Amino acid sequence: MRNTWVILKREYLERVRTRTFLVLTLLAPAFMTALMILPAQLATMGEKPEHIVIVASTQQFGNNIRQQLLAEPLIGEESEYDAAKSKSEDQYTIDVDTTATESERAVLRDKVTRHEIDGFLWLTDGAIAAHSVAWDGQEKAGSREKAWISEAVNRVVQQQELGKKGLTAEQSAEMLQPIKVETFRIENGRETKSAGSGRFMEIIVMVMLIYVAVLLYGISVMRSVLEEKTSRIIEVLLSSASSTELMTGKLLGVGAVGLTQIVVWTVMAGVIALPSLAAQPNFSELQLSPLVMVSFVLYFLLGYLLYSTMYAAIGAITTTEQEGQQLQFIIVIPLVLSVFMLSPVIRTPDSAAVVWMSMIPFFSPIVMYARIVVQTPPLWQIGLSLVLMVGTIAGLVVLCARIYRMGVLIHGKRANLPEIMKWLKYAKA
Amino acid sequence: MSSVQTPVAPAFDGSARSVGADAVQLTGVRKCYDEFVAVSDLTLTIDSGGIYGLLGPNGAGKTSTIRMLMGITVPDAGQITVFGQPLGRAHMDQFGYLPEERGLYKKMKVLDHLVFLGQLKGLTSTEATTRAKAWCERFEISSWVGKKIEELSKGMQQKVQFIAAILHDPRLIIMDEPFTGLDPANAVVLKDVLLEMAKSGKTILLSTHRMDQVERLCQSICLINHGRAVLEGDLNQIKAGYGRHNVQIKYDGDAHFLQEKRLVQSFNDYGNYVEVRLAPEANSQELLRLASSHARLDRFEVMEPSLEEIFIDVVGKSNA
């Protein structure tokens, strides 16, 4: 116990005092904030008042389209966020042009080239009858712009057709009123509004944090195991403490570093981010349930410990850092697989495959956490995955400790599997 | 005497144990790595108090023996008792170990490192700090305590390593080649510390190739070869048992007397003097008469065999 504590303290202080820790602690929140805010910022930055020309056979039809375009906001994937800052009238200049001739088309094309207008819509009666209209612009229209235009044109044409069939404007408007789909999720028996993309963000944050923390500190665990072997300090340490005490102390120290980091980040988030986040109109949807927050901390820490233990094992069986880095794929593969699994996990969080995968300790930190975020799984499943992770970590620590102890006898080449088995045998007592 | 506060030996039940009781007892100890037998049926007794020399050629099993004693590896067979009890983890705090291959954390500061290792041996942080500072003072590295290990010279690192081994005032101190890398002045300081500790009742196990050091420092020795003890016991008795068959002669003139096979079994010319091993049954006085009749003698001394000679002789025989 005493030795474990002494080692824990050393490992903790040696890491917390490094520049890596300082940089990561300060930069990660900045990075995360950027990740959340930048895409939205970038989307708005690109928008400047646009000048569009509608070419229609009649002024009336052109005006209708114009009104429709101005009335409906630009529809896109991130509708919740963009709804608040949809393009309002003052951002657009939409002219209606009724000279629908080929020469006019050439003139308009010329204007686009000279940046006088951003683009024009070719909506002549002929084009409408052919069910195909054209947009010529400086940029090829994106899916959002396309949807926006197609919505407006369809609306107006449908309204016009319905009018011809004898319906009043009100009747046709009512008929064409789109039906909204509202999504809810049941959480602890209560209905809450689903927060689609916000949920996804929580998972991405988890993936990023685990990945960054594991890659940075996991490698430092591997390095420190290697250093102890190559510098032969292992012999001095083992004359004072058991290899299990050493490994446990080392990993708990590393775990404490991770915990510190989370605490620092939480405090920083509280101080810096909350006021600005609270100002966001959809802040309430970002609110996390206590279960999600607790499991975030648990799965982050356990995942980080598990992967660090794997790094320690790699350090124990190799003799140089290059060799160790070659073996890193053992750790990277489960991480990458977890990320690949995210899409099925989010779509069908309770399918058998996803449930089983979330139980496998190497995938749990990301897959089980994602399940918890998307749809609360049965508590026993959460409990089981936690128990399995803790068990795997403990088992790996014992295994590492044995291999590590035999590291004292090793010089030179990396051990192959039969040799490792032999060490485990020697180290049994 | 130095100004260093000599730390008081930790109190054990029966700390008033008389000097001469067994500190370490190995009985039939065996350690194999696959087919390779590192230590086979090793039996030896280290008396409490004093300096005990563990000798042997390269690969004889010295380090394997020490590692078992330190609990780093476990014997396949046989028994190790320490201070009358079977070796256990509880003994680790009473051991101080200077491994042959030195190792310290390069990035740690000297004082932090010493305190860390001291705490692993059960010292409190304040205790460890005070003692570390006192020892650094004695070894004249006080101005370096705030520096990182990697900034120190090899010799200074060696001193730090030595301090780490004795910081917690262990009862049993195991030193594997403690003098390598030290300049003569520092070697003297280290030797003095070892002797002081031996006098204060500590048991020191000195593993080395340097026969001259063993000859000067150790009371008892064990010579191991191929994992077995081939010679063990009190150094003076061992030497006496070898008889006084050696003569050192410093002469000037005709060296023909060295060819007298009846008297001289072999000789080794060192330039300044020649060391002669007498033939069995030969009389040293007869050689003196013969030599003085041929050459001018500056010195003629009948000597005990050197440990080096015994070593070569015994190892040669046990290899045969």
Task: Collect the ranges in chain B with pLDDT lower than 70.
Answer: 1-21
- Return the number of other C-beta atoms located less than 10 Å from residue A154's C-beta: 12
Q: Do B108 and A14 touch (CB under 8 A)?
A: yes
Shortest CA gap A4–chain B (Å)? 9
Residue type, B312: I
Phi first, then psi, for residue B193 (nearest 5°) are -65, -45
Q: Between A and B, how many CB-CB pairs are < 8 A? A: 68
Cα–Cα distance for residue pair A310/A117, rounded to 1 Å: 60
**Distance from C-alpha of A233 to C-alpha of B86, rounded to nearest angstrom:** 26
pLDDT at A238: 87
Among A231, A237, A242, select the one facing B106 at the smallest CB separation: A231
A422–B119 C-beta distance less than 8 A: no
Cα B2 to Cα B7: distance, rounded to the nearest angstrom: 13
Tell me the residue type at B132: A
Domains detected in chain B:
22-239 (3.40.50.300), 244-303 (3.30.70)
Is B71:B241 a contact under the CB 8 Å cutoff?
A: no
ipTM: 0.78
Strand order in the sheet with B274-278: B264-269, B274-278, B246-253, B295-303
pLDDT for res A186? 61
Q: Is A176 within 8 Å of A158 (Cβ atoms)? A: yes
Closest-CA residue in chain B for A10?
A: B116
Q: Choosing among B36, B67, B73, B148, which should be mutated to test the A contact, i.e. which has the most A CBs within 10 A?
A: B73
**pLDDT confidence of A61, banded at 50, 70, 90?**
confident
User: A225 or A427: which carries more pLDDT confidence?
Assistant: A225
- CB-CB under 8 Å, B104 with A240: no
CB contacts under 8 A, B 50-79 vs A, are 67, 70-74
Higher pLDDT pick, A19 / A8: A8
Q: Does B202 touch chain A (CB under 8 A)?
A: no
Average pLDDT over residues A181-194: 59
Cβ of B101 and A238 within 8 Å? no
- Cβ of A227 within 8 Å of Cβ of B164? The answer is no
- Rounded Cα gap, residues A200 and A204, in angstroms: 6
Please list, in sequence order, all residues whose beta carbon lies within 8 angstroms of the beta carbon of residue B68, skipping any fewer than 6 positions away: B29, B31, B39, B74, B75, B80
Average pLDDT over residues A301-311: 90
Q: Which of B246, B172, B187 is CA-nearest to residue B217?
A: B187
Instruction: Report residue B99 as tokens.
Output: 């491994």
What is the model's pLDDT at position B148? 92
3 state SS for A378-415: CHHHHHHHHHHHHHHHHHHHHHHHHHHHHHHHCCCCCC
- Report how far residue A290's alpha carbon sits from residue A297's, in angstroms, rounded to the nearest whole number: 11
* Amino acid identity at B309: E
Reported as a single tens digit per residue, the pLDDT across A253-288 is 988 888 888 788 778 777 766 666 665 555 545 556
Nearest-angstrom CA–CA distance, A364 and A383: 11
Among B63, B93, B95, B101, pick the best mutation site for testing chain A contact (most A Cβ within 10 A). Answer: B101
**Rounded-to-integer distance, Cα B80 and Cα B27, Å:** 6
Q: Which helix (H) or strand (E) holds A277?
A: helix A274-278
- A386 confidence band (pLDDT: 50, 70, 90): very high
Q: Which two tokens stand for residue A312?
A: 């320690």
Indicate yes or no: CB of B116 within 8 angstroms of CB of A240: no
Backbone angles phi, psi at B139, to 5 degrees: -90, 10
Q: Are A55 and A105 in contact (CB under 8 A)?
A: yes
* Secondary structure letter of residue B36 according to DSSP: E
The mean pLDDT of chain A is 78
- pLDDT 10s digits, A76-112: 444 444 444 444 445 677 888 887 788 888 888 888 8
CA distance A313 to A331: 11
pLDDT above 90 coverage of chain A, percent: 7
Asked if residue B39 lies in contact with residue B31, where contact means CB atoms within 8 angstroms, the answer is: yes
Domains of chain A: 2-40+193-426 (no CATH), 50-181 (3.40.190.10)
| Residue A423 binned pLDDT confidence (cut-offs 50, 70, 90) | low
pTM > 0.90: no
Contact B73, B67 (CB under 8 A): yes
Tokens matching residue B193 = 């510390």
Q: Spell out the residues 6+ positions from residue A73 whose beta carbon is closer than 8 angstroms to its own.
A: A82, A83, A86, A87
Q: Among residues A336, A310, A337, which one has the least CA distance to residue A324? A: A310
**Which amino acid, residue B201?**
G
